[in-house]
Amino acid sequence: MRRTMLLIIPTTILALVVQQNNACFVKSALRFVQKAIVRWDGFDSKYLQTLSVNDKNVDIQYWNSKLGNHKSIKIRFNHEYELSEHWIPDKPLKVILHGWLDSIIHEDGVSCIKTAYVYVGGYNVITVDWGGIAGFRNYMLPMLMTSKIGARLAKVLDNIVHLGLVQSEDIHLIGHSLGAHIAGVCGSLTKSGKIGRITGLDPAGPGFEFAKLQKKGLKKSDAQFVDVIHTSGGSTGIYHSAGHADFFPNGGSVPQPGCYDGIKLERIIGLVGCSHSRAYMLYADSVYYPGTLMAYKCLSWNDYVNDDCDSDEKTPMGHGASPTVRGDFYFRTTSSPPYDDPDAPKQDL
């Protein structure tokens, strides 16, 4: 945990005293952080070899509107045929993955997306609870295990496709933080056909974009359409564009509206965590309120704020994002749900 604080604290302190879109600053900050955490004490890389991904430490559950939000069906590896009696035919599949130190059982976490899809109905939903691994406080271990978990999930989805329950193009993976990279690995390894869509919710930056220790992470070739939502770019989340379409609410960096409470050291971790988690909260909002959170294509946040965008192209962010759009998109939000407020002034940050 101490090593992780070396990553979060210096990046966040620096991020608060410069403009959010200052690329030169961000590059310098990332180099500083990389030097701080590139060496890890007390971690035996051989320990990874002893870890297995099984039905105990990766709990995969199936949900739909008929079962409701309080009942699910456990998916056992190589027993996916047990889903047949519960599956809603001719409906797309949403697969939801959480991040580090999280779990699907945390109702205030990424499970809000599962709750939203089950509530609105019309979807088959799978949650991947890898809390048995994500719960390790040494960030390096869960980070390096993302490739193994992604490979296991790819086999599960291949089995479901081979059963004729869903087509690959109707599968949508939605992953937060490290879960976004698990989704990317899964998409790159599926053999039954290319996944239709992957949404990365503030994909984890440490170990992937800087202090690169994990080569396998989310990239645009992992699905037919990859969209990325950035809410803590340059600290816990990746800073640069990584998908076919990248969305930068409020500039995409720390702090997101409602997360800033002064530059006091004891508040910094909460500030970063708040901004990092805002990605899945915004996404859940887009399920309940389709067509909102309208984002506009622009070259930068500064250009958007100054109404200096070259294009009039726009698309809803999140659930309703058009799979045909390409480029970087910006918009403003409020500080609490419902988040849609295109006229929110910049000083609300």
Residues with active-site annotation: 177, 202, 276
C-alpha of 42 from chain center: 29
Select from 43, 216, 210 the least CA-distant residue to 145. 216
Instruction: Pick the closest to residue 252 from 225, 234, 273, 270 (CA basis).
Output: 234
Tokens 């970087």 identify what position? 328
Stated as kind and residue range, the H or E segment containing 129 is strand 124-129
Query: Which pair of structure tokens corresponds to residue 293?
Result: 């959170």
Closest CA to 259 of 341, 166, 148, 335: 335
- For the record, the structure tokens of 266 come out as 């004891």
| Beta carbons within 8 Å of 106's beta carbon, 6+ residues apart | 98
Q: How far apart (Å, rounded) are the C-alpha atoms in residues 149 and 154?
A: 9
